[in-house]
Amino acid sequence: MNEEDVVSRLKEAFGDKVSEFKTAPRRVFFYTPPEHYKEVVRFLAEKLGFVHLQAITATDLGDEIEVMPHLGRGLTVSVRTRVPKDKPVVDSVVDVIPGASVHEREAHDMLGVEFRGNPNLTRILLPEDWPKGVYPLRREAKLAPPKPIRGGKE
Amino acid sequence: MSFSSSYERFFDIPIGPQHPALKEPILLRLIVEGEHVVAADVDVSYTHRGVERAMQERNYIQNIYLAERICGICNVAHTLCYCQNIEGLYDVEIPSRALYIRVLVEELARIHSHLLWLGVAAHEIGFDTLFMYIWRDRERVMDLIEEITGNRVTSAINTIGGVRRDIKPETCDRCLKAMDYLEERIKYYKKVCEIDPTVIARCAGVGILKPKDAIRLCAVGPTLRASNIKNDVRADDPYAVHDEVPFNVIVYDTNDTLARVLVRIDEMLESINMVRYCIEHMPSGPVRVRLKLSPPVGEHLSRVEAPRGELIHYVKSNGTEKPERYKVRTPTFGNIPALCEMLTSKGDYVVNIADVPIAFASIDPCLSCTARVVMLDREKEKLWVGSLDRLRRWRGWG
Amino acid sequence: MAMLLEVFKHLFKKRATLMYPFGDREKIPVPEGLRGKISFNRDLCIGCGLCARFCPSGAAELVEDEKGKRPIFHIDRCLFCAQCEEVCPRKAITLTKTFEIAGFDRSNLVVK
Amino acid sequence: MGITMWSRLRSPWLLHFNTGGCNGCDIEVLAALTPRYDLERFGCLLKGSPRHADVMVVTGPVTRQVRDRLIRVYEQMPEPKFVVAVGACACSGGVFRGCYNVYPGLDAVLPVDAYIPGCPPKPEAIINGVAALLAKLGGKL
């Protein structure tokens, strides 16, 4: 299956629910609205065989947060969806791809994205005493290194 | 799920974060019933340093060295992936001599990493003689890397637009000589691992990961290939000159730790042949093109087969000299769910506490990579084992 | 067991250990192009500040002296990546082969 | 020099603590123990327990999570104890200086007796640093 096949299969199955197609050698990027996101991932995993989840990239775009899982082993298909920053909720794909759990927790920890349906969405990598509501990869986060606890220099 | 209510019969053994058997700060929590491990939980958040945020605050040149220090052992793979990624934004042709040097150094680093792992694995099963011999031979590779790049570990050879140092003809000769020596030694170690009763008793049948589970849990690298799944980024998604350099993807079908040992040994032999091929077929010409500091607006996803498996970097640029978003997914992270699976007894398959170190080491965990972004943590009463139970339910057993 | 023969054979081979730091100190193989301690030539420096701009760890710091701007190098922060050597337009910065640079006080670990 | 101190200097036992580094320094510390460099020539032993150790060899930048564990391990070591910071990250934070989860150097958390810069330092440099520390302690007495 090459890039064109993936694009045509997606267009055939979802019509105008998928858009913004962008292809490069062995890479496909496209957009789908958050309400169809899970459906599209399920189609990719179960019908087209993209069962391997490489990563979930979450990006702060200013007003919106972009959530983008990268699927596949040879060919990489990236499903892009955007959710508003004040209410960043998106469906979890953890029941389609069990390996997604930790990726979703990471995005939750770093950018505060809520994955509806992920049963274990807890803090995974920041310290336990990290202040609530501060997400290190959001643009507005003001972060400083910790203060020295003894008289080291600087 | 509350820990105390559901696991009353069980003991909880925490190992780490500072422990003689561990070289890195990690908290390994085992839920045991008698001698048998019934659930495992890994917390590696101790090495979270905030690399992704730091990458957004530095320019593209500084980020090469930051990417290099995500992981010291697979630093060549990280810089290679980073540089490919940024070059993808420029859409520029890299001189083929540079690509050959990249592959050469990458394969040398793979040999060094696998030898290191083999030594550590021998140490984990209590076979320190093998550990010492392997680490003695590993110094030959370290000398080569030092000679080519200027440092034993962090190579700093890849840069945006090519490589920073050319390789000298006399280094090539020494490299070929060292490859002959290493090939003989590695074949010897393969024989040892195949016939030595200590290795077989400790590795065969330990840490089983079935092919079905390996796919479902998104395992990568040698862990996946030891479960009889032919998958290698170098073959599936060739980068640099991997479409020209011939090599075989090694698979073994016994799914256990011994298979992972043998996969890595055979991969080293393949790497030796690739190094030889690179030296013999290296074209002449420049090794670097100069590029502007600020790449054009765009995004790019780059994949590299690091010694531990598939490595993914994603960049989004906004036309300034700093990236807008830089995302790294390291191979050990992909293997952690598979590790928890290996360490869980079920049915006839039993994991003893004594098997934990080697089963844990068999994925070649490199936590400094992993915890840069991630990990499983315990929050008060909520345990990862709880969600592992759920994972099991989704897969339809247990 | 499989290694017993190998172990005996090694009784009669050359030793693998380098006797550093005793005796054959000069024989330590330091390859050409090792990235060691920075050396800085003040006379060549024009104070452009490129080293400080590209230093990944902030080891090069720009300061003023009687002849104008110049960098000082904090060896305790240095990554020995040679990026400063690469960007320096006047070749004022070179990386030497010195690697024995342990110190007891951070304020001494500075190259001026 | 008392006999206790004499023996301590002839056989310092090391404790290796990785505070969250990139593994580069760790494999060099480990390489210093293997046949090529063989740190055990000096009577050095790598110990697992802090209660047996005289010298703590710290590699890596100190992260927020690991700080309390590091202090606790340090407090468990018997007096007199010495701390050696190996690598740029332990000396000053190195490339991670300014990251939100990283302390600016080991001496922001613990008193440090010797610094071995390098990223990572060669095993020879580590041996040199430990030997220099022991020589300094021997000279003081």
- Domain residue ranges in chain B: 5-47+334-395, 51-330
What is the pairing mode between strands D55-59 and D82-86?
parallel
**Helix B169-195 vs helix B257-280: angle between axes, to the nearest 10 degrees?**
160
Contacts of C74 in chain D (CB under 8 A): 92
Domain B51-330 - what CATH class?
mainly alpha
Q: Which amino acid is at A143?
A: L
> CB D107 to CB A150 under 8 A?
yes
**Portion 80-109 of C in contact with B at CB < 8 A:** 80-83, 86, 95
CB-CB under 8 Å, A55 with B329: yes
Interface A-D: count of C-beta contacts within 8 A = 43
Interface contact A49, partner B, CB < 8 A: no
Residue D128 reports pLDDT greater than 50: yes
CB within 8 Å: C17 and D35:
yes
Please tell me if residue A74 touches chain B, with a CB cutoff of 8 Å: yes
Question: By three-state DSSP, how is residue D57 classified?
Answer: strand
Residue B118: which of B99, B134, B101 has the closest Cα?
B134
> CB of B221 within 8 A of CB of B259?
no
Q: In Å, how far is B116's CA from the nearest CA of chain D?
A: 9
Shortest CB distance from D19 goes to which of B25, B72, B152? B25
Q: Please state the rounded mean pLDDT for residues A29-55.
A: 91
Contact residues on chain D for B65, CB-CB shorter than 8 A: 95
- The DSSP bridge pattern shows strands A64-71 and A53-60 to be antiparallel
- The amino acid occupying position B280 is E
Distances (CA, A) of B58 to B264, B357, C53: 36, 39, 10
Give D-chain residues touching C100 at CB under 8 angstroms.
Answer: 124-125, 128
Shortest Cα distance, chain B CAs vs residue A137, angstroms: 6
DSSP string, B123-142: HHTT-HHHHHHHHHHHHHHH
Give the A:B interface size as CB pairs under 8 Å. Answer: 107
Q: Locate tokens 């256990």: which residue?
A: B256
Fold (topology level) of B5-47+334-395? Enolase-like; domain 1 (3.30.390)
Chain C adjacent subunits, 3+ CB pairs under 8 A:
B, D
| Residue A42 to chain D, least CA–CA distance (Å) | 37
| Dist CA B193 CA B288 (whole Å) | 42
In angstroms, the CA B16 to CA B35 distance is 19
Contact across the interface for C29 and B143, Cβ inside 8 Å: yes
Number of Cβ within a 10 Å radius of residue C89: 11
- Round to whole Å and give the CA distance between B367 and B76: 17
Tell me, what's the ipTM? 0.92
**Contact yes or no for C21 and D92 at CB 8 A:** no
Counts of helices then strands in chain B (DSSP H, E) = 16, 8
pLDDT of residue B370: 52
Q: Which of D19, D27, D96 sits opposite B153 (nearest CB)?
A: D27
- Exposure class string for B51-76: b at 16+ Cβ within 10 A, else e: bbbbbbebbbbbbbbbbbbbbbbbbb
- CA C93, CA B50: separation in Å to the nearest integer? 31
CA dihedral B263, B266, B268, B274 (to 10 degrees): -120
Domains in chain A, please, with CATH?
Answer: 3-116 (3.30.460.80)
The domain made up of C31-111 is a member of CATH 3.40.50.880: no
**A24 part of contact set with chain D, CB < 8 Å:** no
User: Structural domain boundaries of chain D?
Assistant: 3-140
Whole-model pTM? Answer: 0.91
Same topology, domains B5-47+334-395 and B51-330? Answer is no
Dump strand ranges (E) for chain B.
11-15, 27-33, 36-43, 158-159, 162-163, 298-306, 309-317, 323-329
**What are the chain C neighbours of D113 within 8 Å (beta carbons)?**
104
Distance CA D81, CA A109 (A): 39
Q: Is B341 helix (H, G, I), strand (E, B) or coil?
A: helix
Percent of chain D with pLDDT over 90: 13
Nearest CA to B287 among B179, B149, B115, B147? B149
Give the chain D residue whose CA is nearest to the CA of A148. D108
Q: Which residues of D touch A144 (CB under 8 A)?
A: 100
Supply the angle between the helices D24-31 and D123-140 in degrees, to the nearest 10: 70
User: What is the token pair recorded at B54?
Assistant: 């730091």
Q: Could you read off the pLDDT of C15-69 as tens digits, one per residue?
A: 888 877 776 666 677 888 888 899 999 999 998 989 999 999 889 999 988 888 8
Q: Residue D45 pLDDT more than 60?
A: yes
Band (A1; pLDDT cuts 50, 70, 90): confident
Q: Tell me the average pLDDT across A113-139.
A: 83
- pLDDT (0 to 100) of residue A97: 87
Say what the pLDDT of residue B373 is.
Answer: 36
Which of D97, D99, D109 is opposite residue A150, by nearest beta carbon? Answer: D109
Report residue B59 as tokens.
Answer: 């320019």
pLDDT of residue A7: 92
The mean per-residue pLDDT over the stretch D89-114 comes to: 89
Instruction: Show me where the domains of chain C are located.
Output: 31-111
Residue A59 vs residues A88, A138, B61, B153: alpha-carbon distances, Å: 12, 8, 22, 32
Interface mutation vs chain D, best among C100, C107, C111, most D CBs within 10 Å: C100
Of the candidates C75, C102, C105, the beta carbon closest to that of D132 is on: C102
Structure tokens at A65: 């947060």
Mean pLDDT along residues A26-55: 91
Query: Which residue in this structure is represented by tokens 């030497």?
Result: C96
So what's the pLDDT on residue B388?
A: 34
Question: In chain B, which stretches have pLDDT less than 50?
Answer: 1-5, 7, 371-398
* CA gap B318, B109 in Å, rounded: 33
B45, B216, B376 member nearest A98 (Cβ): B216
CATH C-level class of D3-140: alpha beta
